[in-house]
Structure 1
Amino acid sequence: MRQMVLDLGAEKPQTLDSFVAGQNRELLQLLRQFADHASAMPHERFVYIWGESGAGKSHLLHALVAATRARYISPDADGSPETWQYSQETPVYLIDDCERLSPAAQIEAFALFNQVRENGGLLVAAGAAPPAALALREDLRTRLGWGLIYQLHGLTDEEKIAALTHAAQTRGIAVSAGVLPYLITHFRRDMRSLSAMLDALDRYSLETQRPITLPLLRSLLQREGEPKTE
């Protein structure tokens, strides 16, 4: 059996540099300060990020893990006390998908906010909606709103095409006109998946010895059984 060309699980590490900012430049600049906290502690120490699925919230949190001494906490964490315990060796804490926190995890998250404030740490949380709209304990919603709140804006189609074009040019990948506009209307629309598809197209082009054109893209989409997303 041949190996599937498109492997969305084998992507490059998520970094702040690989995040396409679009309308989110101010937020990205602030998170760079969080990543560089050892040399300059940011004025704001609490940030809450909200936005639709696929906008890049988890990308940013995982990027901070890669850039600094941070602890990533998801609602699926093992629940051990150490997960939510502040440590001087870990000055940055990242809580993802806040809307999914269990009642027990909400109590732990509330306590962690207080520990971070008392010990001079940094905390970034992310969720699907603004703090006031989350179905969480009132005291935790208050903590989530302590610092700066940013809505993470998804990229426009034009920004996605520009980012993919730049990525292709940087890597010396020749992409025929019409391929990228077709891709973003016939495939998953988040940049993580689109970037993985660009990699897959490059590999498929080398495998078949064919240029990256619309017929090649359609062939790959059919081969991988990807449905249209129109």
Structure 2
Amino acid sequence: MLKSHPLFRSNAPMRQLILDLLPESPPTLDNFVAGGNVETVAAFTEWLAGGLSATSFCLYGESGCGRSHLLLASGFSLIDAGLNPGLSGVTASDQLAIDNVDLLNADGQIALFALFNQIKLAGGQLLTAAIQPPAHLALREDLRTRLGSGLIYRLQPLTDAEKAEAIAAQARERALKLSPEAINYLLRHAPRDMRTLSMLVVALDQYTLEQKRPVTLPLLRELLNMETA
């Protein structure tokens, strides 16, 4: 029943409640909103398919640009250096992804250097992501050189206009009527990353069906204010 869905438990923060929904819509290449990153996504897709011979592919860009989405969408074995900065227990695989490379500690940098060499020797693929390109990261020189030898692409964050267009398209797919004013309200008052905004469209669709009410600004305020009891 919708009222029992985690999004509508009023004793948890709104952002966490929305994030609880994310596994229902796992990140894929198809549901990634490319915006100004069409060329990057095309190269990434070609590399994943084996069409580009580089051992490593690095995605970099500011928080919220979609780095983690694409790493999850790759289907590679994924390690978050923010949670495991020493890469403890990580072994080489044919397809390995390391998120937040900039958060590796000294042990993790040594481990990634060894993993890179093993993956290269085996003809595998190493996918990494960070806030800056390898040359600008505070890493061991030998590791910077290895990562810098591969493909390196920047992910540009979506503009507000691109986010609004994506939200409108997702609403149309659900036959959900969202006015420009409602979309602007979401962009001003909701978390601004595209994955959370996409899940808000899902939540809004469910909430309007339960409440049997159209989308209005008061209804949007209700949904976004559910973080407090």
Shared fold, TM over 0.5: yes
Are residue 106 (structure 1) and residue 109 (structure 2) matched?
yes
Aligned residue for 1:125, secondary structure, equals strand
Are residue 25 (structure 1) and residue 38 (structure 2) matched?
yes
The 8 Å contact of residues 176 and 214 in structure 1, kept in 2 or not, is answered as no
Aligned residue for 1:84, secondary structure, equals coil
The 8 Å contact of residues 84 and 108 in structure 1, kept in 2 or not, is answered as no
| Corresponding residue number in structure 2 for 1:96 | 99
Match for residue 7 of structure 1 among 11, 18, 21 = 18
Compared CA separation, residues 4 and 92, structure 1 to 2 (3 A): closer
Q: How much has 1:133 moved relative to structure 2?
A: 2.0
The 8 Å contact of residues 84 and 109 in structure 1, kept in 2 or not, is answered as no
Are residue 71 (structure 1) and residue 82 (structure 2) matched?
no
Aligned residue for 1:223, secondary structure, equals coil
Q: Mean alpha-carbon deviation: is it higher for 23-32 or for 153-162? A: 23-32
Q: How much has 1:80 moved relative to structure 2?
A: 4.5
Q: How much has 1:209 moved relative to structure 2?
A: 1.2
Q: Structure 2: which amino acid aligns with 1:31? A: F
Alpha-carbon distance between aligned partners in 2 of 1:170 and 1:142, rounded to the nearest angstrom: 45
* Runs of 5+ consecutive residues of structure 1 not aligned to the other structure: 226-230
Q: TM-score, normalised by structure 1?
A: 0.85
Match for residue 84 of structure 1 among 86, 91, 97 = 91
| Corresponding residue number in structure 1 for 2:195 | 192
Q: CA RMSD in A?
A: 1.9
Alpha-carbon distance between aligned partners in 2 of 1:176 and 1:157, rounded to the nearest angstrom: 15
Could you list the structure 1 runs, at least 4 aligned residues long, displaced by more than 3 angstroms after superposition. 1-4, 77-81
Are residue 55 (structure 1) and residue 65 (structure 2) matched?
yes
| Corresponding residue number in structure 1 for 2:135 | 132
| Corresponding residue number in structure 2 for 1:174 | 177
The 8 Å contact of residues 96 and 126 in structure 2, kept in 1 or not, is answered as yes
Q: How much has 1:107 moved relative to structure 2?
A: 0.7
The 8 Å contact of residues 78 and 98 in structure 2, kept in 1 or not, is answered as yes
Alpha-carbon distance between aligned partners in 2 of 1:196 and 1:128, rounded to the nearest angstrom: 24
Aligned residue for 2:96, secondary structure, equals strand
* Seq. identity, %: 44
Aligned residue for 1:117, secondary structure, equals helix
* Runs of 5+ consecutive residues of structure 2 not aligned to the other structure: 9-16
The 8 Å contact of residues 47 and 124 in structure 1, kept in 2 or not, is answered as yes
Q: How much has 1:177 moved relative to structure 2?
A: 3.2
Alpha-carbon distance between aligned partners in 1 of 2:161 and 2:88, rounded to the nearest angstrom: 44
The 8 Å contact of residues 4 and 224 in structure 1, kept in 2 or not, is answered as no
